[in-house]
Structure formats: structure tokens, C-alpha cells
Amino acid sequence: MTMFAQSTAVIPPAGRSAAPPHGGAAYFRGSSRVIIAAGAGLVIAIALLAGLASLGLHEYALREAERETATLSNVLARHTERTVQAANVILESALERAERTDLADPDALAALQVSFRRQVDAAPQIRSLLVFDRDGRAVVNSVQHPPRATTPRTASISSPTASGRTSAC
């Protein structure tokens, strides 16, 4: 028995060539380059759009921050103005009351201290109200009664009265 090797050959149908269409392997290499270039172009376009969107959002955030800062500044200015006005009203009232009080009368001084204490309790922007005599000693202190011998570290507004004594609030 002899063995013969059989080979099979593909015979293309009539009118067709055996080579793949559009240039064969070179066609596939060329088309993959086009696909890679298109993908790279798409990635670059997406990156540019994301950058532009990010820039727009950044500018929007800056405008909003400026608007909020201006609003906060206005609110703080109005609050400060009202606080100063309230403190002025309290100080003027305390000064008038101190000027009408006989500083030699201990009962009058105690009543003035109680009145000052109520005003200080009602106004958180005021820490204390004080009245000093002509020698600079505190004779009325809204924080404590009787006042300490040393001058406390609180600011005061002094005004000479008609009688020559100095009262402060």
C-alpha cells in the first residue's frame, strides 16, 4: 500500500481573486491606525471639553464666593452698626442716671448698681458699667457691689457733670 499525500486547494469562485479585498493585511494595518488616531482625537476632544467645563465652573465659583463675601460684609457692617448704637443708648442712659444720683448716699449707689446690673444683663455687648468719683475711684460697679478699691480693667466713658464730679459709664 502506498500512501499518497493529498492536498486540498481552495479554488476561488469565478470572478473573484484569492487575495482578501482592499489590499489584504495592509488594509487591516491601515484601518487600525485610523481607529487609533480617531480614538486619540476623541480623548483629546473630551479632555479639552472637560478643561473648558472646569474653567467655567471655577469662574462661577469665584463669582459666587465674591457675592457671598459681599453679602457677609454687609451683614457684619449692619450688625456692628446696631451693636454700637445699642451700646451708645445704654451708655447715655447710664450717664443720665448717674448724673441724677447722689453719690454720697449709699442707698442711691446701691440702687444705681442694681440698675446698671440689669442693663448689663440685658445687653451682651456691654460687660460692665462704672461710675468713678473725682479721685478716680470706682464708686458704682455693675459687676460687684461695693466696688473694689482698685480700678478694674474695663473701658469707661467719662463726662464731667455740672457739679464738677466725674461720672462714667
pLDDT tens digits for the chain (169 residues)?
Answer: 555 556 555 565 665 555 555 555 555 566 888 899 999 999 999 999 999 999 999 999 999 999 999 999 999 999 999 999 999 999 999 889 988 888 888 888 888 888 999 998 888 888 888 888 888 888 888 887 655 554 444 445 555 544 445 444 4
At 28 the pLDDT is 56
Radius of gyration of the chain (CA): 47
Residue 4 lies in a domain: no
Residue 2 lies in a domain: no
Cα 44 to chain centroid distance, Å, stands at 38
d(CA 130, CA 113): 9
Q: What is the number of structural domains in the chain? A: 1
* Local structure of 159: helix, strand or coil: strand
At 45 the pLDDT is 94
Residues in Cβ contact with 126 at an 8 Å cutoff, skipping those fewer than 6 apart? 87, 90, 91, 119, 120
Per the structure, the complete domain to which residue 43 belongs is given by 32-168
As to burial, measured by CB atoms within 10 angstroms (0-12 exposed, 13-18 middle, 19+ buried), residue 140 is buried
Q: Are 156 and 169 in contact (CB under 8 A)?
A: yes
At 150 the pLDDT is 47
At 14 the pLDDT is 61
Residue 148 lies in a domain: yes
Residue 19 lies in a domain: no
Residue 72 lies in a domain: yes
Helices (H), 13-166: 25-100, 106-122
As to burial, measured by CB atoms within 10 angstroms (0-12 exposed, 13-18 middle, 19+ buried), residue 151 is middle
